[in-house]
Amino acid sequence: MYILKSEMAYELKDTNDEIYLDAPEFLKNSKYIATVGDICTIKVFEQIREPNLAIVDLKTKRNTPLDSNQLRIINKIGDDNIEVENPAGTISKSLWKAIKSTLAIRKNTKITVRGEEDLATLAVISMAPEGAKVIYGMPDRGMVVVDVNQQTKTRANNFLKRMLV
C-alpha cells in the first residue's frame, strides 16, 4: 500500500496542465482513455465515449453522493465491474492490482472504490501504455488530461517512490 505523506499533498493540488470544463474534442482520437473521478467520468462518457478504464467512488467532492441521474450514467459504464477498498490518502494493494489487471485486458472496466479514488491517477499513469490519456477531476475547477509518455510516467513513479509503502 502507498500512503500519502501529509507534506506531499500540496504537490497534487497544483498543475501546470490545462484545466477543461468539458471533455476536449481531441480525446475522440484516443486509443485508450482512463478516467479517475465521477464527474469527469460522466462528462467523458457523455461527450466523447465510454472510457476503457473508469475509477469512481460514487461521490463528488469527497462526501456528496451522486444524484440518481449521475448514478444511472455511471451504472452504464464498464463491461466488467470491480469493487475495491481504498482508504483516503492511499493506493491500496487491491486498487493497484485491479488497475494492473484491467490494463492487461481489452474489456472496458469500471473500478468502484469504497473510500477515495484520488490517488489512483498516479497508479494509472505509472502502469498505462504510452499514448493513453488519463483524465482526472479537479474539484470546483474541471478536469485535467494527462498524456501518458515517458516524462509523465517518470514524474508519477518518482512521486510514488516518495510515498510511504
Q: How far apart are CA 78 and CA 76, in angstroms?
A: 7
Annotated domain spans of the chain: 2-12+19-162
HSE-CB of 165 using CA atoms within 13 angstroms: 5
Q: Range with the lowest mean pLDDT among 19-28, 56-65, 66-75? A: 56-65
Q: Range with the lowest mean pLDDT among 14-28, 43-57, 88-102? A: 14-28
Instruction: Find all residues with CB under 8 Å of 149, minimum gap 6, and list them.
Output: 130, 131
Predicted pLDDT at 126: 98
